Amino acid sequence: MKIAILTSGGDSSGMNPAIKKFVEYSLQKGYEPYFIYDGLEGLIDGKIKKASYKDVGGIIYRGGTIIRSSRSKRWFDKEYRKKAYENLKNHNIDLLIILGGDGSFRALDVFYKEFKVSFMGIPASIDNDLALNEYMIGVDTALNVIRHAIDEIRDTASSFSRAFVIETMGRECGYLALTSAVANGAEMCLIPEVPFNLNNLKKRYLKEINEGRRYFIAVVAEGLKITKKIKEWFEKEIGFESRATILGHIQRGGSPTVLERLRAAEFIKVALDNVEKNPNKIVTYYDDKFILRDLEEIVNSKYELNKEMLELAKHLMGII
């Protein structure tokens, strides 16, 4: 059985450990592993190559993806999707494994409906915004990158009695901001999913200043597009000199954490163990276990943040 793997959309740490496990476990099970370079763009262009142990030696500690990734505008044109299908057939690929996020699986959904290419999907994105799934490859490393950044920013915030507004990635999903704010003891957390109340926060902050507070850490999700406004709000309404820090793409890089490497291996194992008996599924991680779900169920469901985590962060949003 010939199985090809590609990484699609935004890169995330943990993709390389997944690629390494894919090659090694495929060979262990008697399958022939193939790489598709440059994501969906590479699939269109036929960048398909047989993989070996040599290709994955020494990659487990590296961030990013050695087979590279892309966002493909050409994929929206059926002519190019047909070309991608023909490339798979020319290499006699029996099944395709895609590591990606919501957009990648929507692209896969169209491809499968048109050409019935067998597949397995593995969630991989720091956004952690896939429905019916609680963990995507890349998330733990991104959270640790943010933790490190907040710890270092706090040193300056406390030294100069400043407010620091820290913007996290995640597109329209507030998962990274929410989790980071709670885990790192921030005083503010603003995310797209929950209405916040600056008036309530102002009352609380002014009271805390009178009681001795000398600096603020505010975590704001990029999807709100209000980082600069919140910086100005701290200066005008709270009376604190303020700085804005946009963490940006450092959140997508870095050496994968131990948890990341373990999860990546587990995702791949579940996928390869089911390529013959139960293909055409998305491998999800939910309620501390792996669950195979239909692609259609994934793309037609809406992602929701953890309610317990939201409850922990209510006071950081000005919700009384």
Q: What residues act catalytically?
A: 127
Q: Which tokens is 222 given?
A: 């990029």
Q: Which tokens is 62 given?
A: 């590296």
CA-CA distance, 75 to 85, in Å (whole number)? 11
Strand partners, 50: 34
6: left (phi over 0), alpha (psi -120 to 50) or beta: beta
> Which residues lie below 8 Å from residue 41, measured CB to CB, with a gap of 6+?
70, 72, 74
Backbone angles phi, psi at 290, to 5 degrees: -90, 135
Q: Which tokens is 179 given?
A: 């989790």
For 165-256, where are the alpha helices, taking DSSP H only? 175-183, 198-210, 227-233
**Closest Cα partner for 316 from 196, 162, 206?**
196
**Closest Cα partner for 4 from 66, 78, 76, 92?**
92
How far is CA 226 from each of CA 52, 54, 191, 218, 246, rounded to the nearest angstrom? Answer: 47, 47, 10, 12, 12
CA-CA distance, 167 to 150, in Å (whole number)? 11
